Amino acid sequence: MTQSGPFPQGTITSVNGRAFALRGDDIDTDRIIPARFLKCVSFDALGSQAFADDRQELAGDHPFDQAAHVGASILVVNGNFGCGSSREHAPQALMRWGIRALVGVSFAEIFHGNCLALGIPCATASSDQIKQLQAAVSADATASWSLDLQACQFRSEAAGEWGVGFESGALEMLLSGRWDATSQLVARDAELKQTMAALPYLNGF
């Protein structure tokens, strides 16, 4: 089931929506998006292919196939999520399915960086806290949750609030909007053109 919605832009101070759990440590990028889908020339269709092999194996019982999770935007995972190869297709597939934030015990470094480049916050908490959160989001799939980057909290009116952490550099980039490299380039178009005009190897000197 593929989710739709606007992609993030500018500063990101919170992510709000329904949440669900995907349990298991060391879920690698080959499981998130199998290698045979990397031949695509565009990321547009990757959402429907997220966890394709796991979903086929579970024949409709995978969390990404459950009707209660349609429209959910926050995924609660366990440890070392996104390990394995460095393919940027993995967070692209999650984002195009509808995931706008991740909360977990830990994230593989390159996967975390690829998420940051898309404006997908990756919040962390202890293993015990994540188990509690997974139980809480599973208890009521209709509950609304908020991942507050400024307060470093993940909360729901029905279930309460948990403190979460963020990598300090990533948090600053999300709160300032500096994660969005494309927007930064567009905003500095005049400066870039001025610099290009002064470069000798672009002007035949």
pLDDT band at 1 (very low <50, low <70, confident <90, very high): very low
When pLDDT is averaged across residues 14-31 and rounded to a whole number, the result is: 97
Q: Which residue has the higher pLDDT, 180 or 101?
A: 101
Strand-strand pairing, 14-21 and 74-76: parallel
Are 152 and 162 in contact by the 8 Å Cβ rule? The answer is no
3-class SS of residue 16: strand
Q: Which residue has the higher pLDDT, 186 or 200?
A: 200
pLDDT band at 187 (very low <50, low <70, confident <90, very high): low
Which amino acid is located at 100 in the chain?
A: R
Are 45 and 103 in contact by the 8 Å Cβ rule? The answer is no
Two tokens, residue 20: 């669900």
The pLDDT tens digits for 70-108 are 999 999 999 999 999 988 999 999 999 999 999 999 999
Beta strands in 71-111 (DSSP E): 74-76, 101-104
Which DSSP letter does residue 145 get?
E
Q: What percent of the chain has pLDDT over 90?
A: 73
The pLDDT tens digits for 86-95 are 889 999 999 9
**Residue 4, pLDDT score:** 41
Q: Give this prediction's pTM.
A: 0.87
Q: To the nearest whole number, what is the mean pLDDT of the chain? A: 90
Sketch out the chain's domains with CATH numbers. 14-179 (3.20.19.10)
Q: How far apart are CA 47 and CA 58, in angstroms?
A: 18
When pLDDT is averaged across residues 119-139 and rounded to a whole number, the result is: 97
